[in-house]
Amino acid sequence: MAAILLRAEGVNLSSFVFDCQDLSTVRGGGLILLDLSDAVEAEIRALGIEPMALTRGASQAMFLIPESSDPEGLAKKIEIGLSRHPQLRHATICVDAVQCSGDFPVDRARVIARNRWRQLRMGAVAYPRLHQGQEGKVCSTDFLRPAVRGEYSEATHVRRTHGIDQKHHFYEQEIATYAGRTGADFQFTNELTDLAASDVWGNLNGKMAVIHVDGNGIGALQREKCNTWERQREFSTGLRRQQAAFLSSLLDQIDKDVDWKSGDRFRLETLLWGGDEIIWVVPAWRGWELLRLFFENAARWSLLGTGITHSAGLVFCHHKAPIHEIVRLAKDLSEMAKRKGRQQQEKNLFAYQVLESFDHIGQPMDQRYLSGRYPFYSGDVSNPLVLEGLRMKPIAEAMPRAREAISKKKLYEVTKMLMTGTKERAAEAAQRAWKRMDAAVAAEAHACLDVFGEDSSRSLACWYHLAELVDYVAPEQLSN
């Protein structure tokens, strides 16, 4: 008998993680799926089988099962076991297994294809149990499932409770398992209101930054490099360890900086973690810094001897903005950076948006929207809205000088012309601004604008970047 390759994946995250505005419920959905690999392993061992874990991602796991002759029967038993799990039964999970042929890449492709086929045939929501006397009542949080626990559906109650109870344990467990660090004891804010509130940050008070990070070409690299199950395991574990090492260093950084804290609680939310995708929420005055730290750290990452890069989306907005829509926007921005990155040998790139109101939430980041809002936008390849991750530090260093060299009035004058008028009128406004500066100030302003990219002082887009980011990069506290 040959071995079996079994793969389980939690799918339809928009219906289990990002289907509501309640932060604890969103967090709980993500943390429950992070436990999927442990739950699958426990179900396999309950059958008297000792599995070997090959991958453990944010919502998926792959195991090598020693000699067995019934892959479909085994997958069905695991599926039934997960349907009885107190939390995972509320998620939609694909479980499939194939008999190993001796060609690992082919076997991996076969089991992933079966997962995808199963997903196409299943509902987007795990069908909830109905309870007598609860007919007609709808969950007040997800507005979809029947309410059976007061105002909550069973799925919302389970996710919300798990999100509250397990938030702190996630960080401790992750850095202990993959970074070898034990004894960490950190506390975190529970609501976005607390995370984003601070009177000393002026107009950033009550604002947050949502960050989506996604690896570039990780799947393709995996298919190229992982031609054996041993290399697959090394690939997955190596990525998780590098992520955990960064998380450990980030927590140390936060612990030393009072501006990262609300009392003794860290202002950090991790909504998705594992695989090659991460979603963070932090206060607006630390959003740029977190993404900068990530890019600087991840620039050294490699898998099986090959360096890897990332794309990211960063959204600054009010903490009351609908979190599921903001996450979607952050993902769209990350994809925008990824498209440009494909033309530049997969550099570490990111795109951002500053939402001073809710006007642009829900707009697709397509060519029509971008060309209409940004007259200087001319396509993904030369997209000036996308910046290099390793430029974040020099931009942060230049921003205080830019605030001194260029008044906000001049900035907004040029930017208004840039965003509402023609490109020619905006260029004229920029030239007038330069002429009114003395030589020393103009030289300093040029140097500040140049940090956004090569020849940026002659580009209209740099004025947009400066005006958008002037309050969010290296921000200044209110003076007493």
Length of the chain: 480
- Per-residue pLDDT, 206: 95
Overall average pLDDT of the 343-349 stretch: 78
| Extended strands (E) in 343-465 | 349-354, 386-388
Q: Does the structure show a pLDDT above 50 at 198?
A: yes
Residue 420 neighbours by CB distance under 10 Å: 10
pLDDT tens digits for 125-138?
998 877 666 667 89
- Per-residue pLDDT, 457: 44
30's tokens: 């993500």
Residue with tokens 């206060």: 283
pLDDT tens digits for 359-385?
556 566 666 666 666 666 665 556 778
- Per-residue pLDDT, 382: 62
- Per-residue pLDDT, 186: 87
Residue 290: name the closest of 349, 249, 322 by CA.
249
- Per-residue pLDDT, 166: 86
pLDDT tens digits for 230-280?
999 999 999 999 999 999 999 999 999 999 999 999 999 999 997 789 999
Share of the chain above pLDDT 90, in %: 59
Overall average pLDDT of the 43-53 stretch: 94
Q: Are 33 and 270 in contact (CB under 8 A)?
A: no
Overall average pLDDT of the 379-405 stretch: 83
Q: Which residues pair with 96 in a beta bridge?
A: 7
Q: Does the structure show a pLDDT above 80 at 23?
A: yes
- Per-residue pLDDT, 366: 62
Average pLDDT, the chain: 87
pLDDT tens digits for 95-147?
999 999 999 999 999 999 999 999 999 999 998 877 666 667 899 999 999 88
Kindly state the greatest CA–CA separation across the chain: 82
pTM metric for this prediction? 0.91
